[in-house]
């Protein structure tokens, strides 16, 4: 299931005003879409989870296509292109699964939740991997006990709720990142020294020419 990532603090800090002006509207739009999808998945029975799956799939395809185009233009590394290809593939699969009955979308959330828990353990830092594994294990035990006590339907519903909360958090982070980028976009561009054409920068600046 492909999901676009929210802008991080580091990317916001390193963005130029020009980059921020291009990025913040899309980040804000993505955040609003994610929040709406998360709410629909919880409020609207059956159809909501299918809309969530389809919406995440569309966002994944868009992100994947954008990454592949950037890689073709030489703007990103090959690893980013591989991630983009994976996002596009998983997004297309999610869109296809959204056309199946709601139960299929709900159990897709079960698989997605299991994948997220596994990824949290695998990608955790070595010093925190034990705690991440303990947390994931407790979550799995809680889900298993709930499934035994309340039935498999409860497991699917709980997974939909957990995925919806994660999507909601991602949407809020995306909107927050968009606001930070908007502040960067409002900053004035750095002034250029009068009469400087940049021709001496490679020779150590204007002082280098004077010394020569």
pLDDT digit string, tens, across residues 104-146? 999 999 998 888 888 888 888 888 888 888 888 888 888 888 8
Residue 97 lies in a domain: yes
Tell me how many domains the chain contains.
Answer: 1
Which range marks the domain in which residue 166 is found?
Answer: 9-189
* C-alpha dihedral, 171 to 52 to 38 to 15, nearest 10°: 0
Q: Give percent of the chain above pLDDT 90.
A: 35
Residue 66 lies in a domain: yes
In order, the DSSP letters of the chain are ---PPPPPHHHHHH--HHHHHHHHHHHHHHHHHHHHHHHHHHHSTTHHHHHHHHHHHHHHHHHHHHHHHHHHTTSS-HHHHHHHHHHHHHHHHHHHHTTS-HHHHHHHHHHHHHHHHHHHHHTS-GGGHHHHHHHHHHHHHHHHHHHHHH-HHHHHHHHHHHHHHHHHHHHHHHHHHHHHHHHHHTSPPPPPPTT--STTGGGTSHHHHHH-
Residue 210 lies in a domain: no
Residue 205 lies in a domain: no
Residue 206 lies in a domain: no
Residue 126 lies in a domain: yes
Q: Residues 29-48: what's their mean pLDDT?
A: 92
Residue 204 lies in a domain: no
Residue 31 lies in a domain: yes
Decide if 108 contacts 1 (C-beta within 8 A).
yes
Sign of the CA dihedral 161, 163, 167, 172? Answer: positive
Q: What is the pLDDT of residues 63-102, one digit of tens each?
A: 888 888 887 877 777 777 788 888 899 999 999 999 999 8
Q: What is the pTM of this model?
A: 0.75
């Amino acid at each position: 299931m492909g999901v676009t990532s929210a802008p991080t603090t580091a990317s916001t800090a390193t963005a130029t005003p020009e980059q921020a002006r291009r990025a913040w509207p899309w980040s804000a739009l993505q955040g609003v879409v994610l929040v709406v999808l998360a709410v629909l998945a919880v409020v609207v029975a059956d159809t909501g989870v299918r809309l969530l799956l389809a919406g995440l799939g569309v966002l994944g395809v868009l992100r994947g296509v954008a990454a592949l185009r950037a890689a073709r233009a030489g703007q990103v590394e090959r690893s980013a292109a591989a991630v983009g290809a994976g996002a596009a593939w998983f997004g297309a699969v999610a869109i296809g699964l959204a056309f199946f009955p709601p139960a299929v979308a709900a159990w897709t959330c079960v698989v997605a939740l299991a994948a997220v828990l596994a990824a949290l353990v695998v990608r955790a830092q070595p010093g925190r991997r034990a705690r991440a594994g303990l947390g994931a294990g407790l979550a799995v035990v809680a889900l298993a006990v709930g499934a035994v006590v309340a039935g498999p339907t409860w497991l699917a519903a709980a997974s939909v709720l957990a995925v919806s909360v994660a999507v909601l958090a991602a949407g809020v982070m995306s909107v927050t990142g968009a606001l930070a980028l908007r502040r960067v976009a409002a900053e004035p561009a750095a002034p250029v020294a009068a009469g400087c054409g940049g021709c001496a920068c490679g020779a150590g600046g204007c002082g280098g020419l004077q010394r020569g």
